[in-house]
Structure 1
Amino acid sequence: MSIDANKALVERYYHELVSEQRLDLIEELIAEDAADETRVGPGGSGTREDFREHLRWLWQNVKDVKATVEDLVAEGDRVIAFWRIEGTHTGPVFGVPATGRTFSGFSISTLTIRDGKVVRYNVLPDRLGIIQQLAPAGL
C-alpha cells in the first residue's frame, strides 16, 4: 500500500472506529493477528480481540470520546499519529476514579500497516496532563 493509503487508514481508525464507535469496522481495519501493545506489551503478539477490549474500555470510561488526528507522519509501513482525545471521565483512567469532568489530552501513536490493515498499535499518551485535569487538587 502507498503511504497515502496508510495515512487514510489511520484517519479512519481514529475517526470512524474510535470516535464513531464503529466496532463493526474492526475486521476491515485490523488484521486478525494484530498486536495492541497497550494490552500485550511492547513486542507482544495479540489478536483483534485485544483491540476490541481496548476500545470497549475506552468507551466505558470516557463518555462521548472524540479522537482528532492533528498530524500524520509516515514512511514505509509505519504511520505516526499525533492526535487529541476529548471526552467525559466516567470510569477509571490512569488510576483516577470517575470524576464526571471533561478533559482533553494529546497522544502520539505508532501504527504499523500490512496489506491494508493495522498489525501493530502503540500509544504514548500525555498521562500527566490528563491526570492533572482529572485528579483532585493536591494529588
Structure 2
Amino acid sequence: MSIEANKALVHRYYDELVSGQRIELLAELVAADAADETRVGVGGSGTLEDFRQHLEVLWANVPDVRATVEDLVAEDDRVIAFWRIEGTHAGPIFGVPATGRRFTGHSISTLTIRDGQVVRYNVLPDRLGIVQQLAAVAV
C-alpha cells in the first residue's frame, strides 16, 4: 500500500467508522488480528472484538461523537493522526461521570497498516483538557 492509500484508510477510520458509527465497516478497515493498544497494552495482541468494545464504549458515552482528522504524517506502514474529538458527555469519561456538557479534545494516534487494514492502534488523548471541561476543574 502507498502512503497516500494508508492516509485515506485512516481518514475512513475516523470519518466513517468512529464518527459515522458504521460498525459494519470494522472488519473491512481493521484486520482480524489487530491490536487496539488502548485495550491490550503496548505490544499486546488483540482481536476485532477489542476494537468493537472500544468503539461501543465511546459511542455509549459520547453518542454524538465527531472525530475530525486535522493532520496526518505517514511513513512506510505507519500513520500518525492528529485529530479532534467533539461531543456530548453522556457517560463516564476518564473517571468523570456524565455531565451532559459538550466538550472538545485533541488526540494523537498511531495506526500501523498492513494490506489495507489497521493492524495496530494507539492513542494519546488530552485527558487533562477533557477532564477540565467536563468536571469544570481549574489547574
TM-score per shorter chain, which class?
over 0.9
Q: State the match for 1:55 in structure 2.
A: 55
Structure 1 position 109, deviation (Å): 0.1
- The normalised TM-score by structure 2 is 0.98
Structure 1 position 138, deviation (Å): 6.0
How many residues align structurally? 139
Alpha-carbon distance in structure 2 between the residues aligned to 1:83 and 1:2: 21
Alpha-carbon distance in structure 2 between the residues aligned to 1:126 and 1:54: 17
Q: State the match for 2:93 in structure 1.
A: 93
Structure 1 position 63, deviation (Å): 2.1
Opposite residue 3 of structure 1, the aligned amino acid is: I
| Contact 2:9–2:116 (8 Å) recurs in 1 | yes
Alpha-carbon distance in structure 1 between the residues aligned to 2:118 and 2:37: 12
Alpha-carbon distance in structure 2 between the residues aligned to 1:91 and 1:101: 11
Opposite residue 107 of structure 2, the aligned amino acid is: S
Opposite residue 60 of structure 1, the aligned amino acid is: A
Give the match's secondary structure for 2:63: strand
Q: State the match for 1:108 in structure 2.
A: 108
| Contact 2:64–2:87 (8 Å) recurs in 1 | yes
Flag structure 2 segments of 5+ consecutive residues without an equivalent.
none
Kindly indicate whether residue 69 of structure 2 is the aligned counterpart of residue 69 of structure 1. yes
Q: State the match for 2:3 in structure 1.
A: 3
- Cα RMSD (Å): 1.0
Opposite residue 12 of structure 2, the aligned amino acid is: R
Moved over 2 A (4+): 136-139
Alpha-carbon distance in structure 2 between the residues aligned to 1:133 and 1:41: 27
Alpha-carbon distance in structure 1 between the residues aligned to 2:70 and 2:17: 17
- The normalised TM-score by structure 1 is 0.98
Flag structure 1 segments of 5+ consecutive residues without an equivalent.
none
Alpha-carbon distance in structure 2 between the residues aligned to 1:63 and 1:52: 15
Alpha-carbon distance in structure 1 between the residues aligned to 2:77 and 2:63: 32
